[in-house]
Structure 1
Amino acid sequence: MKIKTLSSFVASLVAGTTLCATSGSALQQEVDAARRAKKNSVTLTQKEYRIPTGVNLTKFKDFTIDGNGAKIVITNPRSQAFVLWNSTDITIKNLTVDYDPLPYTQGVITAIDGKELKFTIDAGYPRLTPELQLNYIHIFTPDGRRWKENCPDVYGKLKMLSPDEGIFTMRKSYDVEIGDRFAVNYRSPAAFDINRCGKVTFEDITIQASPGVAFLSRYGHGEELFHRVKIIRGTPPTGATAPRLLAGNADGINIASNRGGVSVRDCEFSYLGDDSINLHCELMPLVSKVDEKVIDTVYPYPKSSTFLEEVYTPGDRVIFVRSGDYSVIGEAKIARIEVSPRSKAVASQTPDFFPVHSTRGFTVYEVEFDRPVNFPEGSFFYVPVSSAQGFEIVNNYFHDHRARGLRLMSSNGVVENNRFERLKSCAIALGGEFNWWREAGWCENIAIRNNKMIDIGWGSMASPDNYVPAVVATFARLDQYPGFYHGNRNLEITGNEIKNAPGAGILLNYCDGVKVSDNTIENVLLSKGVPGRDKGFKDPTPVWIQNSVNIEVQK
């Protein structure tokens, strides 16, 4: 999503956010007291904690917080609820997180004049402020139960007329009517902000609001477990009669630059401002060659919040790809990585390589490989082991949210026995967001089995510029289309039930070696035009094969 505060959002999303200060709250005091007493757990004693900033777990080891059913209400909508920093073997369980005031507001469309939407803010929800004069809104049905069908992301400009009303001027005409409800949200730090951590476990946690990603993890080196976690809307705030529209302002789980596997089981994700789950590693540019084995690369975030040298280790496999179609041009192994002494000379090129880049700073790394890397400057590379490989996503319910259910740019995983309903984009996307977001990489060794996917893609799937125009889509986001490299490999898509979508049931694009069998696909390709036609897609079928080889399709 393109948003007014994109640079600051991406800085927090990719590089990690600033640690919240220790609040001195009763909750922090209970945690700190247990640690001073050299206990390895604390059971919370209050039913509700209202605190301005979250719990800070810095350099904790082998520690459990049992919420004992407590509700934690953060009273600063720009703060995290929990910060885990350089900690390992941490478990947080049995609690609910909410925000008051909420980190978004909402209202109803009262009049329409051409592309101008006049609106009022719902009673009991935060009043309009200048920082909410953003360039997008979410449109819901008049009863607030669902995102509105056949209404893609609505872009334009919000103008505040008073704290209670405003006008949103749409960039183009969208299917919006008087009485439709809307939400507008900024994006701020994550509710759970996890940096440089070993194994972490989250069990029986409910999140009812989040100012950014619900769980954001970077630079990890251990397994991350999410079991029986729910992201669902809470009850209306005091003085409100309209139901809440959002449960989270961005993704549910977003993990990158992480060497550990991920387990997501028996969870529920709903009413999110973006994807449910995003797993990826960083796409790094080959900016300049120092010698035949040594290069400089740049990362568009400051060293104070960047720790790739802790994630990339000697012996790690590196894949080099060509700019443009991102075809693989070679491999090597890391021998050494450290901050480059040529930072000032290299950093000026950062905007050339990152369409979305931060204004907060940069880090230039010198990387040495185990062999000559005779690839042109301007190529890219990524380190597959840092994409949270070895994931399992099993027995979850994904429903009623913007964007995609799963955005997977990792390998060696299974997606099984999940239910997906009423998502604005595709249910499962496999492949690299190479262009624009610079998220890698190609996907290998993934099984998608026995999932149910119903009423998917009624927000954006039919768009002519959609590059994932199917319920299950393998893809690559490229500089130019079509591409012809077959980088998504050894995939299995079996036993799934797919019903009701404007696009295809399954899209196999840029693949080599896929088995498709025993899937039930009904009532798809309902769009009048060809979804994704601006990206070169043509001749759609329920199982749609484009630019792929070695595909086995069985009934």
Structure 2
Amino acid sequence: MSGTADEGVWHRQVPVSDDGGATLRAAIRDACEWTSAAGSRSAVIELAAGVHRIDPPVGDAAGAAIVISDASRVTLTAPQAELLFADPHREAISVRGSTDVVLDGFVLDYATPSFTQGVITHVDTEASRFRFAPAPGFPDFSDRVLFTGTGYGTLRDPRTGGLKPESRQTFMIEYAAEPAVDGSFLVTVEASDRGWMSHIEQGDGFVVGHRGDQHGIRIQESDSVTVRSVTIHAAPCAAILAHESSGTVLRDVTVARRTGSTRWISSNADAVHCQGGRRGPSIVGCRFEGMHDDGVNLYVHALTLSGLGERTLVLDGEGPVRQGDLLQLVEASTGTVLAEVEVAELVASEPRLVIVDRDLPASVEVGAAVYNRSNALPGFRIAGSLFHDFRGIGVRLKASGGVIEDCRFENLSGCGLWIANDPGWSEGPLGSRDVVVEGNTFRATPADVSLRSWPHSAATVMIELFDGADGPAAGRAHERIALKDNDIQQRAAAAVFVGGATDVSIAATRIDQGGDSWLATRDSDLMVI
């Protein structure tokens, strides 16, 4: 390892070695110390060309393999390097409490995937069961860290690894932890999905992923983190997760299976998953392929109203609240927006005490969900990106003041664009505002035949409000959404669905119509040009 520090810029080169990442971790610690000493300092860590095998740090039983913490103005660049992580149970890279950090140019992969894939060897339709034989080289259900006994799996074409066409593609399942004598495992389809048992056939491929809290790259409580020209081939959960982080930039990022690989999926969950932030992400020129869940998901989690006065709220839960923030109070069971108020004053206490700028209506009661609209990733941009061939929805949007433009969505099991709250996960707020969807192309989506009339995916482009039972909620919380110059192949009940919205415009839209009507609406005010 060699390094210099000239004119306020610290630079170090990290060679390929067999130390499991110890040299890289040391370089990161030195870079953080150098830049913390003065605000004018910056640091660049350059990895040599080749494969850098990264083992878990000694003495750390659960943390990420690589940690960048409390850093400023630090760049990790490796345009001809691969970071190959040895432990499929833990996170690869974690950026915590940092600002102006750049991750640039490298490939991120795991030596062993954190999912299993294989072939269905026997089907018992009457008992709603089948036997699953994992392929060699993949973990199996006896790994109780990766596989908890319940979850979901996806049907695959075993020749290509792609989602099985013209079928229900996702099944909720329970599975045994011990194999039979022949090495296969017993899988039971849950009651909710048994009506589609006829779609499961002997010889089908099947994938079961891990859904924990370990990610390819985690960006935690950080600002202005840039991930540039990085390729992620595998991740235990999301490829990139940004939690309470603002101004995240993803440029020319690829999440996809390695060319020539026998793996059927890339990340176990979303390609990009953003939970709260003062400024939304910029996602430009990216390619997202093969994930076992959605492409991009933008939202803020709900707080809980645990106490109530005339102009006083007591809030439980994580997530920042500042003076001037706009809070949305919601009756979660019905999906009713009860009030939106601004924070006039914060009172230091635990749980938090907030004084708001106006009297609350009588309909507001203890137990209401509270979404901080000011922390719900406003000002996002998703542009020039490809969403291709994965299980899930292209973009799940609960953010406002942003644009989705010049993207291509194709061969997704769910709809291409889904602008709606998600009550089952307390993801909101209710209603996106001031959103432009322009110049996008949608093809072969939704591909899962069972989702084409499902309330959450009954259209290729879906705008809706949901109550706590996933039914339609009263009110028109979506406002000022413009759809223009989009090219849509209709595969669902409608190409476009608009519900619970006002001031929606649809202009210059080209529809390859696949049903009786390209547009469906519910309790909305919209204009079609």
TM-score range, shorter chain: 0.7 to 0.9
User: How far apart, CA to CA, are the structure 2 residues paired with 1:465 and 1:195?
Assistant: 34
Q: 1:96 to 1:338 in 2, by over 3 A?
A: farther
User: How far apart, CA to CA, are the structure 1 residues paired with 2:69 and 2:242?
Assistant: 14
Using the TM superposition, give the Cα deviation of residue 23 of structure 1 relative to its aligned residue in structure 2, in angstroms: 7.9
Of 469, 487, 510, the residue aligned with 2:477 is 487
User: How far apart, CA to CA, are the structure 2 residues paired with 1:507 and 1:176?
Assistant: 30
Residue type at the aligned position of 1:48: V
Structure 1 SS opposite 2:455: coil
Structure 1 SS opposite 2:179: strand
Checking the alignment, whether the CA contact within 8 Å between 1:417 and 1:452 is kept in structure 2 is yes
1:467-502 deviations in whole A, cap 9, x for unaligned? 331000001221354433111111111111111413
> What is the match of residue 13 of structure 2?
none
> What is the match of residue 7 of structure 2?
none
> What is the match of residue 275 of structure 1?
294
Checking the alignment, whether the CA contact within 8 Å between 1:281 and 1:441 is kept in structure 2 is no
User: How far apart, CA to CA, are the structure 2 residues paired with 1:25 and 1:229?
Assistant: 26
User: How far apart, CA to CA, are the structure 2 residues paired with 1:499 and 1:434?
Assistant: 28
Structure 2 SS opposite 1:314: coil
Asked if 1:294 is matched to 2:312, the reply is yes
Using the TM superposition, give the Cα deviation of residue 113 of structure 1 relative to its aligned residue in structure 2, in angstroms: 2.2
Checking the alignment, whether the CA contact within 8 Å between 2:98 and 2:221 is kept in structure 1 is yes
Checking the alignment, whether the CA contact within 8 Å between 1:201 and 1:226 is kept in structure 2 is yes
Using the TM superposition, give the Cα deviation of residue 524 of structure 1 relative to its aligned residue in structure 2, in angstroms: 2.5
1:193-243 deviations in whole A, cap 9, x for unaligned? 1111011101000000000111111122x3111000000012577xxxxx2
Of 274, 279, 299, the residue aligned with 1:260 is 279
> What is the match of residue 389 of structure 2?
400
Residue type at the aligned position of 2:340: E
User: How far apart, CA to CA, are the structure 2 residues paired with 1:37 and 1:381?
Assistant: 41
User: How far apart, CA to CA, are the structure 2 residues paired with 1:436 and 1:194?
Assistant: 20
Using the TM superposition, give the Cα deviation of residue 324 of structure 1 relative to its aligned residue in structure 2, in angstroms: 3.6
Of 370, 394, 411, the residue aligned with 1:381 is 370
Checking the alignment, whether the CA contact within 8 Å between 1:424 and 1:461 is kept in structure 2 is no
- Does 1 or 2 have the higher relative contact order (CA < 8 Å, sep 6+)? 1
Of 154, 158, 165, the residue aligned with 2:171 is 154
Residue type at the aligned position of 1:215: I
Asked if 1:83 is matched to 2:102, the reply is no
Using the TM superposition, give the Cα deviation of residue 174 of structure 1 relative to its aligned residue in structure 2, in angstroms: 4.7
> What is the match of residue 354 of structure 1?
none
User: How far apart, CA to CA, are the structure 2 residues paired with 1:225 and 1:446?
Assistant: 19
User: How far apart, CA to CA, are the structure 2 residues paired with 1:229 and 1:45?
Assistant: 20
Of 456, 460, 465, the residue aligned with 2:445 is 456
Asked if 1:506 is matched to 2:461, the reply is no
Checking the alignment, whether the CA contact within 8 Å between 1:144 and 1:181 is kept in structure 2 is no
Structure 1 SS opposite 2:423: coil
> What is the match of residue 528 of structure 1?
none
User: How far apart, CA to CA, are the structure 1 residues paired with 2:365 and 2:162?
Assistant: 49
Q: 1:235 to 1:418 in 2, by over 3 A?
A: closer
Unaligned runs of 5+ in 2: 1-18, 36-41, 57-64
> What is the match of residue 486 of structure 2?
496
Asked if 1:445 is matched to 2:462, the reply is no
Residue type at the aligned position of 1:204: S
Q: 1:71 to 1:247 in 2, by over 3 A?
A: same
> What is the match of residue 202 of structure 2?
178
User: How far apart, CA to CA, are the structure 1 residues paired with 2:83 and 2:288?
Assistant: 19
Checking the alignment, whether the CA contact within 8 Å between 2:79 and 2:106 is kept in structure 1 is yes
Structure 2 SS opposite 1:547: strand
Checking the alignment, whether the CA contact within 8 Å between 1:136 and 1:158 is kept in structure 2 is no
Equivalent pairs counted in the alignment come to: 480
Using the TM superposition, give the Cα deviation of residue 415 of structure 1 relative to its aligned residue in structure 2, in angstroms: 0.7
User: How far apart, CA to CA, are the structure 2 residues paired with 1:339 and 1:181?
Assistant: 55
Superposition CA RMSD, Å: 2.2
> What is the match of residue 44 of structure 1?
47
Structure 2 SS opposite 1:89: strand
> What is the match of residue 314 of structure 1?
323
Of 122, 143, 152, the residue aligned with 1:111 is 122
> What is the match of residue 136 of structure 1?
152
> What is the match of residue 125 of structure 1?
138
Unaligned runs of 5+ in 1: 1-21, 238-242, 300-305, 342-363, 526-539
- Matched residues, percent identical? 22
> What is the match of residue 3 of structure 1?
none
1:93-126 deviations in whole A, cap 9, x for unaligned? 1001111211111101122222222222112222
1:342-390 deviations in whole A, cap 9, x for unaligned? xxxxxxxxxxxxxxxxxxxxxx433232333342223332111211110
Residue type at the aligned position of 2:173: G
Structure 2 SS opposite 1:30: helix
After superposition, residues 518-533 of structure 1 pair within 5 angstroms as 518-525=508-515
Checking the alignment, whether the CA contact within 8 Å between 2:453 and 2:492 is kept in structure 1 is no
Structure 2 SS opposite 1:286: strand
Using the TM superposition, give the Cα deviation of residue 34 of structure 1 relative to its aligned residue in structure 2, in angstroms: 3.8
Checking the alignment, whether the CA contact within 8 Å between 1:455 and 1:501 is kept in structure 2 is yes
Structure 2 SS opposite 1:490: strand
Of 405, 420, 434, the residue aligned with 1:416 is 405
User: How far apart, CA to CA, are the structure 2 residues paired with 1:124 and 1:482?
Assistant: 45
Q: 1:520 to 1:476 in 2, by over 3 A?
A: same
Structure 2 SS opposite 1:32: helix
> What is the match of residue 252 of structure 2?
228
Structure 2 SS opposite 1:456: coil
User: How far apart, CA to CA, are the structure 1 residues paired with 2:367 and 2:315?
Assistant: 10
Of 28, 33, 37, the residue aligned with 1:31 is 28
Using the TM superposition, give the Cα deviation of residue 51 of structure 1 relative to its aligned residue in structure 2, in angstroms: 1.3
Residue type at the aligned position of 1:151: R
Using the TM superposition, give the Cα deviation of residue 37 of structure 1 relative to its aligned residue in structure 2, in angstroms: 5.1
Asked if 1:213 is matched to 2:238, the reply is yes
> What is the match of residue 18 of structure 1?
none
Residue type at the aligned position of 2:410: E
Q: 1:463 to 1:499 in 2, by over 3 A?
A: closer
User: How far apart, CA to CA, are the structure 1 residues paired with 2:279 and 2:140?
Assistant: 42
User: How far apart, CA to CA, are the structure 1 residues paired with 2:72 and 2:522?
Assistant: 49
Name which of structure 1's ranges 475-484 and 206-215 shifts more when overlaid on structure 2.
475-484
Checking the alignment, whether the CA contact within 8 Å between 1:384 and 1:441 is kept in structure 2 is no
Residue type at the aligned position of 1:297: L
Checking the alignment, whether the CA contact within 8 Å between 1:296 and 1:340 is kept in structure 2 is no
